[in-house]
Amino acid sequence: MSDVTSTETASILLVDDDHDVLGANARFLRIAGLDVLIADGATTALQRLTEHSIDIIVTDLRMPDRNGIEFAREARQMQPLIPILFFSGFAQVNDVVAAMKLGAVDFLEKPVDPEELLARLLTIKETHRGAIALQRTAFDIADDSVAFKSRVLAYEKYLIESSLHQHDGRIGCVLKALKINRRTLNEKMTRLGIVRTTTE
């Protein structure tokens, strides 16, 4: 199911102020087949976010122009569901807690092992593929509808899709997990355009 080679490749935004490391990691990830954009600071990164369609953000916690947490907060306002992965060399427990509370999906310690990073990214891509997909569409469509309602719907879609995926397409399990009425789930799936895909 995780096919890095398909047209489904995730767009990664890699943010690090150390140009050497940044370049090296980007190269590695690209070789692995990922679509990587780079930014050397929060400001640049935020700009990339507006210009491109990004699926996952990977960012240093410490940056010269802004705190990583602060950056994540801003990024999240632009794309509420985007998975953010932090890394840092001098992380305090507080930092990690703050990052995770903000919804970081993972936190790596520097120096980052590229293999490890790749593995985590693939996992994230897998886990969040619902969110990633919806993000892409939610922000493509008429931007005057990118409002409260569409975000909530997007989130509902993400919840259902990820639960479906988690339970391998078995509706019965999803019903129990989400504690939702079958009829309601059916309705929502229809409305949100969710199709059940059983086999992986």
Q: How many residues bind its own copies (CB under 8 A)?
A: 34
Binding mask 46-85 for its own copies (x = CB under 8 A): ------------------------------xx--x-----
Which window, 26-34, 49-57, 119-127, 166-174, contacts DNA (CB under 7 A)?
166-174
- Contacted entry of DNA, its own copies, none for residue 171, CB cut-off 5 to 8 Å set by kind: DNA
Helix or strand run (H / E) with residue 37:
strand 35-39
Alpha-carbon distance 158 to 147, whole Å?
16
Residues 65, 92 contacting (CB under 8 angstroms):
no
Q: Does 113 bind its own copies (CB under 8 A)?
A: no
State the nearest-atom distance from the C-beta of 174 to DNA, in Å: 8
Q: Does 162 bind its own copies (CB under 8 A)?
A: yes
Alpha-carbon distance 164 to 176, whole Å?
11
113 Cβ contact list (under 8 Å, min separation 6): none
Judged by CB, which is closer to its own copies: 5, or 179?
179
68 Cβ contact list (under 8 Å, min separation 6): 42, 59, 60, 61, 62, 86, 88, 99
Q: Does 170 bind DNA (CB under 7 A)?
A: yes
Q: Does 171 bind DNA (CB under 7 A)?
A: yes
CA 75 to mean position of chain CA atoms: 11
Considering only 22, 29, 107, 132, the residue that binds its own copies (CB under 8 A) is 107
Considering only 20, 148, 195, 198, the residue that binds its own copies (CB under 8 A) is 148
Residues 129, 152 contacting (CB under 8 angstroms):
no
* Interface positions with DNA (CB under 7 A): 144-145, 170-172, 175, 180-184, 186-191, 196
